Structure formats: structure tokens, C-alpha cells
Amino acid sequence: MRFRLLAFSSLLVAAFSVAAGAQTADRQLNLYSARHYQTDEALYSNFEKQTGIKVNRIEAREDELLERIRNEGMASPADIFITVDASRLAKADDLGLFAPVKSTLLEGRVPATLRSDNWLAFSTRARVIVYNKFALKAAEVANYEDLALPALKGKVCMRSGSHPYNVSLMASLIQHLGASNAEAWARGVATNFARSPKGGDTDQIMAVAAGECGVTIANTYYLARLMRSDKPADRKAMEQVGMVWPNQQRHGAHINISGGGMLKTAPHKEAAAKFLEYLTSEQAQIYFADGNNEWPVVASVKVNNPALLSMGKFKADSLAIGSLAKRTPEAQKIFDRVGWR
Ligand code: FE
């Protein structure tokens, strides 16, 4: 009898624990990230401190992460997928991986042009023109279109046409100029190449500084990183180059994003929503600006980053970032056709 009572009470305890477990808030969050910046460490540990939710992070290239999420299927532990470039987020969305997060806080803080139904941006970067001050004048390279002019033959360095940064830029030009003009532009730029595309944005900037080419296009945070570098070689390189805000009398500088969304199969939906909201908090937004030289998406957040401040104000392309994704397959085909590999 005594044994039975004991057994019964431990059953009760077990039943209670299960009920309590169901009500307990998520204690962890599984983050699949294709964003690799050292400064992001502080971003995540700060979230852990604030919420008590542990962030388990899996970092890999975005194709690998997407493949993994698809293979894991319904059993995927992934709660959040974050990456850079709207075209990549749109790809994940097209695969049906995201679920919407209903949050009036997010809707209030992230401008409508920087989110879609299922994902949102938490920082922005611009794709700008970088030129060698001793080889060219700023006025000669004021617009993206100028890089296709015959005057710049043999002077243009670019990273690969298969990289999303260029594909998204191309998508925006298709939208603004029309497909045939955009293709003529890409062909003109490829004709002007000083060398075959190789390396990342920083490599292009360094090649411009070294005089191997006269002009390139690069994301602002690479430039800002070099501007803030203590390395003598970087400082010297920055003395050689100038930056132009492209297309200021036209449609404005091309903008892209870093962003993410909650996965449909997320086991910790509550933690996922909290995390996305956290990324738009004042503190997180300042991390993006100070740590990785990106602009906050939340308008009220003040930037203190000297490199970003030195770039000044500019006219940004006002295209909704989500709309670019529709043009990316066409953009890629154009690059392939004109030999911008
Ligand atoms: Fe990058």
C-alpha cells in the first residue's frame, strides 16, 4: 500500500512536470547563420544575457544551410535562418521554408520596403563606386551606367557575376533601365574589364588602390572596415581611393540587406520571435553599425561609427528590397550571356 501510494504520487509529480513543461517558455534557440562576422558574437551573448535563452548557432555557407534545413524536414531543429542579400532570403522563401512572425513591434520598427511577409532586414549596406583618385575623377564615374562607357576600357575590376551582391545590383538595373539597356550595360562593363573577375569586394578595392584598375563597385562596409583599419597597408590603400555615391541625380545608390526569418518548422517559435525583435532593438542595431559598419534599419537609432558618418548622407534606391528577388534569375542569365563570370 505504501509502495502504491509512492508510485501514485510520483506519477502525479511526473504529470505535473509535463504540464509545467508545456507552459515553460523556450529556453533555447537554434540559429542557422550564413552571416560570419566576429562582432556578431557579442550580439548573441547579449541576447542570452537579456532573455536567458541560449543561442545554439550553426554557421555554414547559405546553400549548405538551406540544403540542411530541407533535408531535416519536419524534424529540423532550426528556428531562425539569417543571411546577407535579399536574393538569398527570397530563395529560402520561395522554397517555402519561412513562416510569418506576427509582431506589431517589428512592423513599427522595420520600414515596409525592407521586409516581406515572411522575412525582414535588420541592417542595410550600399553598393558604391570606388575609384583611384590619381587615375580618374569622381565625375567620370558618377553613375553605375558610366562604368560601361568606352572611356573606361581596361579600367574596371569586378567580383564575379555569380555573386549575389552583383546579381541583386543587376536586378535593380533591369527594373530601372529595362532588360535590354541593362544587358547593354553589363556587356559594356565586361568589355571594360582590366582582368577577369576574381576575389571579393576588398580585393577589388585593393586592386583599385594599387592602380591595377581604375574603378570598381563594392559594399560600403568593406570600405568602412578599411577606413577604420590600423594596418599601414590598408591606410595607404585608402589614401589612393575615393568613394562615389552612385546615381544621385538618377534612381539612387543600390541598397542591400542582412536579414532573416523564422522557419516554418521552428520548434521554439516564441524564442524565434523574441530573437527577431531583439535584432531590431536599439542595442542590436548599434552592434550592426559599430561592429560591422552597416546601417541600422530602425530610423530612430543614432549611428556613432566614424567611417559611416564620414560617408555622409545619400540618396538610396527606393525599390522594395523584396521585389528585386523576382529579377535575379534574369539578372544571372544576363551576366552569363555577356561573359561576366
Ligand atoms: Fe560581404
Q: Look at residue 10 and tell me whether its pLDDT is greater than 70.
A: no
CA of 218 to the centre of ligand 1 (A): 9
CA of 121 to the centre of ligand 1 (A): 15
CA of 165 to the centre of ligand 1 (A): 8
CA of 27 to the centre of ligand 1 (A): 31
CA of 126 to the centre of ligand 1 (A): 11
CA of 164 to the centre of ligand 1 (A): 10
Written as nine digits, the cell of 262 is: 523564422
Q: Look at residue 19 and tell me whether its pLDDT is greater than 70.
A: no
Written as one letter, the residue type at 275 is F
- CA atoms of 31 and 55, how far apart (whole Å): 7
Mean pLDDT, range 172-176, rounded to an integer: 97
Q: Look at residue 285 and tell me whether its pLDDT is greater than 70.
A: yes
What pLDDT shows up at residue 198?
Answer: 97
Q: Cα dist. 61→65, 81, 139 in Å? A: 6, 12, 38
Q: Please, which pLDDT band fits residue 269 given cuts at 50, 70 and 90?
A: very high
CA of 157 to the centre of ligand 1 (A): 17
What pLDDT shows up at residue 21?
Answer: 43
- CB-based burial of residue 5 (10 Å sphere; 0-12 exposed, 13-18 middle, 19+ buried)? exposed
| Helix or strand run (H / E) with residue 215 | strand 215-219
Q: Please, which pLDDT band fits residue 321 given cuts at 50, 70 and 90?
A: confident
- CA atoms of 311 and 338, how far apart (whole Å): 33
What pLDDT shows up at residue 11?
Answer: 45
Helix (H), strand (E), coil (C) string for 71-124: HHHHHCCCCEEEEECHHHHHHHHHCCCEECCCCHHHHHHCCHHHECCCCEEEEE
CA of 279 to the centre of ligand 1 (A): 19
CA of 20 to the centre of ligand 1 (A): 44
CA of 249 to the centre of ligand 1 (A): 27
Q: Look at residue 131 and tell me whether its pLDDT is greater than 90.
A: yes
* Residues in contact with 32: Cβ distance below 8 Å, sequence separation at least 6, in sequence order: 58, 60, 65, 68, 69, 78, 80, 81, 82
The fold of 126-254+316-338 is D-Maltodextrin-Binding Protein; domain 2 (3.40.190)
Q: Look at residue 20 and tell me whether its pLDDT is greater than 50.
A: no
Tell me if domain 30-124+256-302 and domain 126-254+316-338 are identical in fold.
yes
pTM for the full model? 0.89
Region of 85 please: left (phi>0), alpha (psi -120 to 50) or beta.
left
Superfamily of domain 30-124+256-302: Periplasmic binding protein-like II (3.40.190.10)
Strand partners, 243: 130
Q: In this predicted model, what pLDDT tens digit does every residue of 90-128 receive, in sequence order? A: 989 999 999 999 999 999 999 999 999 999 999 999 999
Mean pLDDT, range 212-224, rounded to an integer: 98
Q: Which of 223, 208, 189, 191 is nearest to 307 (CA)?
A: 223
CA of 329 to the centre of ligand 1 (A): 20
Binning the chain into helix, strand and coil, the percentages to the nearest 5 are 50, 15, 30
CA of 246 to the centre of ligand 1 (A): 19
Q: In this predicted model, what pLDDT tens digit does every residue of 200-217 receive, in sequence order? A: 999 999 999 999 999 999
Cβ atoms 123, 263 nearer than 8 A: no
Q: In this predicted model, what pLDDT tens digit does every residue of 138-164 receive, in sequence order? A: 999 999 999 999 999 999 999 999 999
CA of 142 to the centre of ligand 1 (A): 23
Q: Look at residue 7 and tell me whether its pLDDT is greater than 80.
A: no
Average pLDDT, the chain: 92
Q: Which of 280, 315, 61 is nearest to 288 (CA)?
A: 280
Q: Please, which pLDDT band fits residue 2 given cuts at 50, 70 and 90?
A: very low
C-alpha dihedral (8, 9, 11, 17), degrees to nearest 10: 170
Mean pLDDT, range 297-315, rounded to an integer: 95
Please tell me the least confidently modeled range out of 9-13, 177-181, 319-323: 9-13
* CA Rg value for the chain: 23
- CA atoms of 329 and 242, how far apart (whole Å): 32
CA of 131 to the centre of ligand 1 (A): 19
Please tell me the least confidently modeled range out of 123-137, 186-200, 322-336: 322-336
In the chain, where are the structural domains located?
Answer: 30-124+256-302, 126-254+316-338
Q: Please, which pLDDT band fits residue 24 given cuts at 50, 70 and 90?
A: low
Mean pLDDT, range 65-81, rounded to an integer: 97
